[in-house]
Structure 1
Amino acid sequence: MINSSEFSKRLEKVIKFYDETASSFAEKVGVQRSSISHILSGRNKPSLDFVMKVLDTFPDVELYWLLNGKGTFPKTEMKPTSDSIIKTQEQEHNPLVKSHNPKEVETNQTSKNIESLSINNSKEIDRIVIFFKDGTFKNYTH
């Protein structure tokens, strides 16, 4: 169940982060100004449609963070670069990352490790999603 007052605080944080007014935020999301006002005041709970519009309009908003405060805002997503992979805490125990020095981990090394995890050698892995017990996730793309 969504805690309306906590949801309202997180929604206010999103509005302030993007330097929007409630009216401009409502316009960008595609809802009436009164809808935002009612959600912020705690009078109404957000609908699924409203939540999805916020996520579609502002991609840095993470679903689990918006709904229950778990996760991060703004959303941080790690993507391999052509030179190296940046090490994060989650990668310390990642079997695809052997080195503790991010400069030493080249994309092609990771690609070889990913290929060895393939179920069928004729198929390539496009992305790996790791789900954490707190409801958050990390998306790694090739």
Structure 2
Amino acid sequence: MDLTDKIKQILVDKNITPSLFADEIGIQRSSMSHILAGRNKPSLDMVQKIVKRFPDLGISWILDDEPLPEIAPEPANEPVLESRKKVTSAPQPAQPNLVKEKPVVLPEKKIEKVLIFYSDGTFQEYKHA
């Protein structure tokens, strides 16, 4: 069983969609789609994110050809999506930036001369009187 098949098995056992799985482990949904379609192979970073999010899987199932361990489905009384809503359901108003700006004092500068160069190799100089 290759790694893509194991990821598909996780989706089935956890009863979650590929989009939700991608959100849960912190990868782009398009990356998940490419992996499941066989276009791309899972990266080491993705594997680490899977193990971090689903520690019950362990790391040995990735390294060996052994089958996935029995995976307990997510609790039915509180789906993964609902637990995520609790964290993000109440947006906080943005605090205004109360940093007072200091006025920038630049030394007084005056133009002394301006040079204009023409394409024929000539130039014109203007000086402050």
Instruction: Give me the TM-score of the superposition, normalised by structure 1.
Output: 0.45
Instruction: Give me the TM-score of the superposition, normalised by structure 2.
Output: 0.49
